[in-house]
Amino acid sequence: QRRLNRQPPVTLLDVFQEHVRRRPRWPLLRFQDEVYTYEDIERWSNRAARVFSQHLELQPGQTVAVFLPNEPTYVWTWLALAKLSCPMACLNCNVRGRALQHALAAAQATLILASPGE
């Protein structure tokens, strides 16, 4: 409750970055045979943020629709967008057709990030 009442409020990005500072080599994510530490995820999210900013020219406040399967890329994409202050519209990667069209319209995103298979 204390964190929610702070001004400005503490975000999940703030909590993540605190863990990176305190426990960089602790495991954060296990996916199949891979283990990713806080430091690994921080490095990947920083790379993604640079690419999004420099090559896609994302600006703070620009909504991005994310159409990715549940895999590590999703985590560092979310963190990268948070670092750029870009709201993320999470799209279910199993949705197709009219439901997907509706979700995209509702998101009012200016960009869609998807994996090659999508």
pLDDT of residue 1: 61
Residue pair 55/14 in contact (Cβ under 8 Å)? The answer is no
**In the chain, domain spans:** 12-114
pLDDT tens digits for 49-92? 999 999 999 999 999 999 999 899 999 999 999 999 999 999 98
What are 96's two structure tokens? 């197709």
Nearest C-alpha neighbor of 45 from the set 37, 4, 112, 107: 37
Neighbouring C-beta atoms of residue 60, cutoff 10 Å:
9
Q: pLDDT at residue 8 above 90?
A: no
pLDDT for residue 118 is more than 70: no
Average pLDDT, stretch 28-32? 96
Residue pair 83/13 in contact by the 8 Å Cβ criterion: yes
pLDDT at 95: 86
* Helix then strand then coil, % of the chain, to nearest 5: 45, 15, 35
pLDDT band at 9; cut points 50, 70, 90: confident
Whole-number Å distance between alpha carbons of 97 and 71? 23
The pTM (predicted TM-score) of the whole model is: 0.87
Task: Tell me the residue type at 4.
Answer: L
| pLDDT for residue 4 | 63
Higher pLDDT, 9 or 84: 84
Mean pLDDT of 18-24: 97
CATH ID of 12-114, from 3.40.50.980, 1.10.1200.10, 2.60.120.620, 3.40.50.12280? 3.40.50.980
- Amino acid (1-letter code) at residue 37: T
Contact present, 76 and 44 (Cβ < 8 Å): yes
